[in-house]
Amino acid sequence: MTLSSNQTPKSPRELEQFYRDVAKMLGNLAGIPWNLISKAGSRLDEITVRTHNLLQEVKGWATGADTVQDRHISDADGKVWQDHVEVTDGNPHGTDHAALDAIGELDPASADATKDKHLSNAQSKVWQDHTDATQNVHGVGTGNSVVGTGTAQTLTSKKFGDSITLPKTAGVGIKVDNDAPDFPWRDLLGLIIYKDVGVGSPLLTTYRGNVRDVNFAAGDDYDLKFHIDHDWVPGKDCFIHMHWSHNGTDVSGSLVINYYVTYAKGHNQAPFHAEKNITQTIASLSIANTPQYQARIDEIQLSSSGGSATTIDTDLIEPDGLVLIHFDVTTIPTITGGSGKPFIHFVDVHCQSTGVGTKQKTPDFYT
């Protein structure tokens, strides 16, 4: 008798027959089919040998968006990730700043507090300049306060309770113009005084009404001297200029002046050098460009860096130096009416001034 798969043995004989049937079945199959074994409640640790390399269908890491956690990685893969984690300095992805998206630009007028903005070098420099500034960078105040920003500031009706202290350095002083600061110009005055002595002396002549001044004919000459004051700006060129006019009703031709100039430092430092001849020609005169009694000023360069055949050396000029000038009126214009000759009122030197004197009264003036 053979038991079916759904029968239960009821006697020892049936049980014996059941075992014979099972043995016969196993003999034919050479094992129990895996699908006939219930795996409910089974555990991996019940298997005696379970080394990782015996597993089948082990998936390696691959580039993709798959989120299923069924992958294994090699040591090499793990090292790449660990190296990336440990990078604390540098750019492991090699990404350029320009490749970043949505870079916010600074808007100085905005109150946005979002930290997503980048600065240009120019914007950073503005802030750094602000940090480094030692002046009134905000231009705060009016009236009795300092007004202005940066190095160009304006003092409006400022009252000082104490002295103003400036560095003693050469070329340091008071400048003008907030937009383009520079040292102001001043005049070294060359007053023309009537001398009426000998040939070539200009005459004191009626100019207008009861007013008289010195009248120059061709061939007349004059001598001037100029002292370099302690507010001299070292390295700045100077210029000689003539104040003149006429009292005629018409004028034409040219006025030509020859200046003969020599210079020397003071304090027993150097001799007066050989004279330099500077010729000034004021041409194409007419009653239109030079009306009767019109006060003209015509200028020509007196000094230059290193000097030249027609200029003295700017680099040698310093406080307490002396400039000696002799000038000849070589040619005068044709003047109808009046005295018939030009009046020369002043011959001055234009130079720039620091607005302050020097610390020392003798060389070196700036120590």
Q: pLDDT tier at 294 (50, 70, 90 boundaries)?
A: very high
Phi/psi of residue 149, nearest 5 degrees: -130, 160
CA distances from 168 to 6, 150, 245 (A): 120, 21, 42
Contact indicator for 321, 228 with CB cutoff of 8 Å: yes
- Label residue 233 exposed, middle or buried (CB < 10 Å: 0-12, 13-18, 19+): buried
102: left (phi over 0), alpha (psi -120 to 50) or beta: left
Collapse the DSSP code of 81 into the 3-class scheme (helix H, G, I; strand E, B; otherwise coil) and give the result.
Answer: helix
Q: Give pLDDT, residue 144.
A: 47
Q: How far apart are CA 50 and CA 52, in angstroms?
A: 7
Summarised one tens digit per residue, pLDDT across range 107-159 is 777 777 776 677 777 777 777 777 776 655 555 554 444 545 555 555 666 66
Q: If 0-12 CB within 10 Å is exposed, 13-18 middle and 19+ buried, where does residue 109 land?
A: exposed
Among the CATH numbers 2.60.120, 2.30.29, 2.50.20, 2.60.40, which is that of 185-352?
2.60.120
Convert the pLDDT of each residue in 199-237 to its tens digit: 899 999 999 999 999 999 999 999 999 999 999 999 999
Q: What is the predicted pLDDT for the residue at 79?
A: 79
Q: What is the pLDDT of residues 85-115, one digit of tens each?
A: 777 666 667 677 666 666 667 777 777 777 6
Q: Does pTM surpass 0.75?
A: no
> What pLDDT does residue 172 have?
92
Which residues lie below 8 Å from residue 9, measured CB to CB, with a gap of 6+?
A: 3, 15, 17, 18
Structural domain spans, the chain: 1-30, 185-352
97-to-76, 86, 101, 218 alpha-carbon distances in Å? 30, 22, 9, 77
Q: Among 70-84, 157-171, 285-299, 351-365, which is the least confidently predicted range? A: 70-84
Per-residue pLDDT tens over the stretch 155-203:
666 666 777 888 999 999 999 988 899 999 999 999 998 876 778 999 9
Write the burial class of residue 247 (CB in 10 Å: 0-12 exposed, 13-18 middle, 19+ buried). Answer: buried
Residue for token pair 């040619």: 331
pLDDT, the chain, mean: 84
Rounded Cα gap, residues 29 and 6, in angstroms: 20
